[in-house]
Amino acid sequence: MLDVLTGFVDELRAAGLPVSLTETLDAATAIGEIPLGDRTALRSALGATLVKSSAHVEAFSTVFDVYFSLAAAAAGDGHPHQGSGHGSGSAPAGSEGRDLGATDGEAGSGGGEEELRTLLDAALGHGDLHALARAARLAVALHAGIQIGRPVGVSYYLYKTLNAVDLDGRLADLVANARRPSADARVFDLPTDHLGGRLVADELASRARELRRRIEAEIRRALVEERGSSAVARTVQRSLVEDVDFMHATGDELARMRRALYPLARSLAARLAKRRRQGRTGPLDFRSTIRRSLSTGGVPVDPRFHAVRPAKPEIVVLADVSGSVAAFARFTLHLVHAIASQFSKVRTFVFVDGIDEVTAIFAKSATIGEAIGRVGTEADVLHLDGHSDYGHAFGVFAQRWGREVTSRTSIVVLGDARSNYHPPQVEELASVARRARHVYWLNPEPRSYWGSGDSVVGAYEPVTDGMFECRNLRQLERFVELLDT
């Protein structure tokens, strides 16, 4: 069992979850106290000991479902992390062209669709968990069309199955039936007012989510049976929220990232405050050191230093809010303003080919999200054609606000440095950099893209204290910690 556990930990680490040796030992102790045949108890014990963040629960569940697959257990080889296909993807003899998971009594039966409709009505309309499980299996058998040897992932088969089942249409019909006055048509004993309708819709949506989850698990089980868990794991693993690329995130991933920002901001603020309290030692206190050394024969064994009170830095953010980098700028502004208490002042400027200060918008908005929404409609960031022009934006900033930059100011530029072939006017940024404490540049593009096409990274990088690749929350977190130095 220890080999199985360490293999599972290796899979979690491969998926990006940070699992330490101590946590692995805790997990080994925990599973020694539960019945190993209880899958739910095993999931709970491993999750409680190996998962440190709520943002990692989904990734943990996916790895668990694949690694401890029911198909692998049924294989009887004593090694739960290999399916009956052993990851080879080879088809059993005589099985070419056959749909995996479609049994003779299901896929070949003319009554399969009628049985599926009956099971779905019982599962969704009455919350019958037994019918829910059977409906998921039958839906996959009838509509997934999983073909042996075809290298297609879970999402494709899930889409096919859900599209054939028409889950949204069934939910709409059930909600309509629940509101009809006829008693035999109602499936919920709830009033037909607005609140009753909301409760009906919420309950049905919850059952639909559970059905979707079971259909996905059934597809995953069938794929593991054919290809082995290792091969399937590579296709179903999703990036952790902190590793999702700002520039290519889906709507669902953006929502996950927004939820992760607030705990990240609290953690960062606490770390910055603690580091500032501990501080670094000031210059040597010569008199106190000599006085202290008298007790050791004049040898300065215990040098004394002047106390330091590190000042909070002032932050000026210059954010490109055009096109593809807008999502990146939005998350960075969220994080910087969420930990604004750790800086003496935060001033925010946004630009496209014109530039405008929006500090007052952040100060007067109830939430950061509201402020960012107002920036998009109220900020005057357009000068000519509405395409990024870094040179013109930096020139206006230097003329209007450059003298307000001091030796305590750290400037953070957010953007991909793609200036649409406009002149970069590097000296404008350099003049501001000479007055500032630091100038940092966060670039959401991969470093391999820098300098290609209309990118002017090479012109600006020498006048900054560092140009950093910042494509996800993990890289953004590391940079924010640097701001306090």
For 169-209, how does the pLDDT look when each residue is reduced to its tens digit (9 = 90+)? Answer: 877 777 676 655 544 444 555 455 566 667 777 888 888 88
In a domain, 245, yes or no: no
Q: How far is CA 151 from CA 36, 64, 87, 235, 369, in A?
A: 33, 22, 12, 10, 42
Quote the percentage of the chain above a pLDDT of 70. Answer: 79
Burial (CB < 10 A; 0-12, 13-18, 19+), residue 477, is middle
Residues 415 and 443 in one domain: yes
| pLDDT at 83 (0 to 100) | 39
2 and 119 part of one domain = no
pLDDT on residue 405:
95
Query: Is the pLDDT score of 2 beyond 60?
Result: yes
In this prediction, residue 310 carries a pLDDT of: 61
Position 399 pLDDT exceeds 90: yes
* Nearest alpha carbon to residue 232 among 73, 95, 64, 102: 64
Query: Mean pLDDT lowest for which of 37-46, 119-128, 291-300?
Result: 119-128
Q: Are 179 and 103 part of one and the same domain?
A: yes
- Please give the Cα distance from 173 to 259 (Å, whole number): 33
What mean pLDDT comes out for the span 88-96?
A: 40
216 shares its domain with 265: no
Of 122, 156, 163, 155, residue with least CA distance to 139: 163
DSSP 324-352: GGHHHHHHHHHHHHHTGGGSSEEEEEEES
* Domain shared by 302 and 270, yes or no: no
The least confident of 111-115, 175-179, 192-196, 282-286 is: 192-196
Residue 348 is part of a domain; what is its CATH number?
A: 3.40.50.410
Same domain? 317 vs 464: yes
Question: Considering 157, 192, 227, which residue would you say is the last residue of a domain?
Answer: 227
Average pLDDT score over residue span 291-311:
81
The reply to whether 212 falls in a domain is yes
Q: Looking at 291, 310, 329, which one is the last position of a domain?
A: 310
- Tokens representing 408 are 């305590």
On whether both 273 and 207 belong to a single domain, the answer is no
Distances, alpha carbon 92 to alpha carbons 140, 148, 231, 303, 408, in Å: 20, 9, 17, 76, 70
pLDDT band at 86 (very low <50, low <70, confident <90, very high): very low
Which band of pLDDT confidence, cut at 50, 70 and 90, is reported for residue 316? very high
Both tokens of 11, joined, read 């899979």
Asked if 286 and 318 sit in the same domain, the reply is no
Q: Which residues contact 337 (CB under 8 A, 6 or more apart)?
A: 346, 348, 362, 368, 371
Q: How confident is the model at residue 304 (pLDDT cuts 50, 70, 90)?
A: confident
- pLDDT by residue (tens digit) across 360-376? 998 888 887 788 888 87
Strand partners, 143: none
Domain membership of residue 410 (yes or no) is yes
pLDDT at 318: 94
Q: Which pLDDT score, from 0 to 100, does residue 148 have?
A: 65
Q: Cβ distance 461 to 467 under 8 Å?
A: yes
Q: How far is CA 224 from the centre of its chain?
A: 26
Q: How many domains does the chain have?
A: 4
Residue 81 lies in a domain: no
Is 423 a member of any domain? yes
3-state class (DSSP) for residue 312: coil
Q: What's the pLDDT at 237? A: 58
Same domain, residue pair 474 and 358: yes
Structural domain boundaries, residue 57: 1-68
What average pLDDT score do residues 320-328 get? 84
Q: Is residue 378 part of a domain?
A: yes
Low-confidence winner among 90-99, 129-138, 161-170, 371-380 (lowest mean pLDDT) = 90-99
pLDDT (mean) for 212-216: 84
Band of pLDDT at residue 456, cut at 50, 70 and 90: very high
Question: Which pTM was predicted?
Answer: 0.60
Does the structure show a pLDDT above 70 at 428?
A: yes
Q: Render pLDDT for 33-61 as a digit per residue (tens, 0 to 9).
A: 998 788 889 989 999 999 988 778 878 88
Residues 295, 396: one domain?
no
Residues 301 and 375 placed together within one structural domain of the fold:
no
The predicted pLDDT at position 236 comes to 54
The tokens describing 308, both together, are 């330091």
Q: Strands 438-443 and 466-469: what pairing?
A: parallel
Q: Which of 145-154, 330-339, 440-449, 469-478 has the lowest mean pLDDT?
A: 145-154
Taken in order 331, 333, 338, 341, is the CA torsion positive or negative?
positive
**Residue after which a domain boundary falls, among 310, 330, 350:** 310
Whether 258 is covered by a domain: the verdict is: yes
Q: Is the pLDDT of residue 401 over 90?
A: yes
Is residue 76 in some structural domain?
no
Chain mean pLDDT for the chain: 79
Kindly state whether residues 324 and 412 are assigned to the same domain.
yes
